[in-house]
Amino acid sequence: MKKPKIHIDITSDFICPWCFIGITRIDRIKKTLSPNIDLEVQLKPYLLYPNIPLVGSPKKHFAKKSKPGMGRALKVEALKENIKIDYKKIDRIPNSLEAHRIISLVNDQDKKWALAKAIFIAYFENGRDIGNSDVLVEIAEQLGSELSTLNAFSHSNVGKEAVLTQVKEAAEKFINVVPTLDFDGRLMVPGLQEEAFWTRYIKKAALLQQS
């Protein structure tokens, strides 16, 4: 019997630590399930703070937005995925529109996914300014992105309207928590969840596909 292939849309933002943990967790689930289920994963853009200036905003302006105990919960979840979130290295909260735009210009899904992970790591582990186009180009260059893609990104606004349209579509679907996962267009789950929870939904989607 042919293995089912489940498509997962992950609506996320590059400045969301829960999204960084989420895509890392999905990566692990993908490998675990690979003998029985193929997962095709695609990132969809979301802007947590759409009104942040393009140059970013001082981190201190966001300190009051953190809920009590959030830092402790983040550490626990990040530890499960063996990743580090180092806010001490972050000076400013960037506008993530350009990060979403450069991702949108990469056609190959594997390269797109690799670049997305690299952007998350650059921000949360190394404190780099992922709102800066030069930083994004440098990250993409290190992963072997095509020169034509990088030139299009650097010398035009190509892709911007498409990203903003997808952000609007997320709002129209009442997505207001990220990451939000859509399994095969049949089951939608908001927020970061445990591995077992997401795995159960993937298997449900596989059963629905066969029904």
Query: Is pLDDT at 68 greater than 70 in this prediction?
Result: no
Domains in the chain, ordered, with CATH?
Answer: 5-210 (3.40.30.10)
Q: How many CB atoms lie within 10 A of CB 208?
A: 14
Residue % of the chain over a pLDDT of 90? 84
Query: Is pLDDT at 61 greater than 80 in this prediction?
Result: no
Rounded to 5°, angle at Cα 179 from 174 and 183: 80
φ, ψ of residue 89 in degrees (nearest 5):
-85, -10
The candidate with the shortest Cα–Cα distance to 189, out of 27, 8, 64, 21, is 8
Query: Is pLDDT at 63 greater than 80 in this prediction?
Result: no
Confidence of residue 46 (pLDDT cuts 50, 70, 90): very high
CB neighbours of 117 closer than 8 A, spacing ≥ 6?
23, 24, 27
Mean of pLDDT values over 23-28: 96
Q: Give the whole-angstrom CA distance, residue 55 versus residue 52.
A: 8
Q: What is the pLDDT of residue 127?
A: 95
Q: What is the pLDDT of residue 60?
A: 79
Confidence of residue 210 (pLDDT cuts 50, 70, 90): confident
Q: What is the pLDDT of residue 64?
A: 58
Quote the pTM value: 0.94
Q: What is the pLDDT of residue 42?
A: 94
Query: Is pLDDT at 211 greater than 90 in this prediction?
Result: no
Residue given tokens 């997808």 in the structure block: 166
Beta-bridge partner residues of 96: none
Task: Dump pLDDT digits (tens) for 99-154.
Answer: 999 999 999 999 999 999 999 999 999 999 999 999 999 999 999 999 999 999 99
Query: Is pLDDT at 69 greater than 90 in this prediction?
Result: no
Q: What is the pLDDT of residue 65?
A: 59
- Relative to beta strand 57-58, strand 92-93 is antiparallel
Q: What is the pLDDT of residue 2?
A: 83
Residue 21: both structure tokens together? 């943990």
CB 96 within 8 A of CB 108: no
Task: Dump pLDDT digits (tens) for 75-109.
Answer: 899 999 999 899 889 989 999 999 999 999 999 99
Confidence of residue 54 (pLDDT cuts 50, 70, 90): confident
